[in-house]
Amino acid sequence: MPYIFLIAGIAMLVLGGDALVRGAVAIAVKLRIPHLIIGLTIVAFGTSAPELIISIRSALEGFSGLAVGNVVGSNIANIWLVLGVPALISAICCDQKYITRNLGFMAVVSIALVILCYYQPLTLWHGAVLTLLLAVFLFDCAMRANAHRKEDRALEREADELIEDVIDGEAGELIGQIEENAGYTPLKMATLIILGLVGLGIGAELTVQGAVSIAKAFGVSDSAIGLTVVAIGTSLPELAATVMAALRSHPGLALGNAIGSNIYNIAGVLGITALIAPIQVDPIFLQFDLWVMLFASLTIVPFVLFRLKITRIVGVVFLLAYGIYIYKVVELGRVNPINETQLVTGAKQA
């Protein structure tokens, strides 16, 4: 039964997030809100909704390991898994405009998270720092896109693609589909949003219950489950987007998608979660997982700086590295399982 809960929960999170984004974007398009604003707000937060809901629910119920593991595990998966799989299909170019700048932002928020975790539990002021970094990132993206538009109206599409790359590879395509689809009536838009919200709520509940039950059954920590099964599950939208982009001969979208998603996971998901509920950070994260997350980020630095391609061989190496990491997480989770009662007690004391 826990497996059914977990699979059903992740499926509802993915479907609920997609329905919510489509309904919200349809409303924004009807109201003639610029694509820039839609991409930076509705699409960005909507595609991060599964991670956000899981983290908030886990923190509120005292399973902080699941909340942190979900984000850290997703960020590692976004580099080695989400970039590794499409690289097997088509080489990923790393010469997109502003990609170096966005990589710098990802490095800043990743290092900031590691530093803040040493001053745990993550509380209101930690959340404020992370969300401030997110606001700075969004402002910088908006300024860059608007600068392009002012220089030359012909570059307007390029500015839209900047936001598309930074936030999510599906953003531009999604907006275009909705604009061309006259069937989005007010009733349909409202229905999509309601179904999305309901799906996210139920999906989060089922995922947390299933993940914690599996952790208990196998004697692993909820952190290990969050870093592996839940992280991969909530990264499915990003993986699907990058694979489709590679099949359509646009593998370059994968890199921007991965970097943008990692920035949102840390600054947005953990930042907002910390504003709502305190998050205990298990020592194993500071000893191992956070450093693996930083290392995974460093593995793409040479490709970005020297404009190299992430080839099929590199993709295989990335996937092997991810497989080794998953094995190590499960091994550490069995050797050093987190006591559920201690987690709950620690969260209440904070």
Going from the C-alpha of 254 to that of each of 120, 231, 237, the distances in angstroms are 33, 18, 12
Asked if residue 200 belongs to a domain, the reply is yes
Asked if residue 349 belongs to a domain, the reply is no
Asked if residue 350 belongs to a domain, the reply is no
Total domain count, the chain? 1
Asked if residue 345 belongs to a domain, the reply is no
CA 261 to chain centre: 4
pLDDT score for 346: 40
pLDDT score for 251: 61
- Say what the pTM is: 0.77
Contact 318, 84 (CB under 8 A): yes
302 CB burial (10 A radius; 0-12, 13-18, 19+): exposed
Q: What is the pLDDT of residues 185-227, one digit of tens each?
A: 778 878 877 887 777 778 767 777 777 787 777 777 778 888 8
Q: Where are the alpha helices (DSSP H) in 81-155?
A: 84-89, 99-117, 124-151
pLDDT score for 187: 82
Asked if residue 203 belongs to a domain, the reply is yes
From the list 83, 103, 94, the residue with the least C-alpha distance to 314 is 83
Q: What does pLDDT average to in each consecutive run of 10 residues of the chain (350 residues)?
A: 78 73 69 55 64 84 87 93 90 80 91 94 95 90 68 53 50 52 70 77 74 76 83 75 69 74 90 93 92 95 91 96 93 61 39
Cis omega before residue 237 (within 30°)?
Answer: no
Asked if residue 347 belongs to a domain, the reply is no
CA atoms within 13 A on the CB side of 314: 19
DSSP H/E element including 348: helix 340-349
Q: What angle do CA 127, 56, 221 make, to 5 degrees?
A: 105
pLDDT score for 342: 41
Q: Which CATH number covers residue 279?
A: 1.20.1420.30
| Two structure tokens written together for 198 | 């309901």
From the list 72, 74, 85, 78, the residue with the least C-alpha distance to 317 is 85
From the list 67, 145, 131, 60, the residue with the least C-alpha distance to 102 is 145
Its domain, for residue 323, covers 2-340
**Beta strands per DSSP E along the chain:** none
Distance CA 299, CA 124 (A): 32
Asked if residue 85 belongs to a domain, the reply is yes
Asked if residue 184 belongs to a domain, the reply is yes
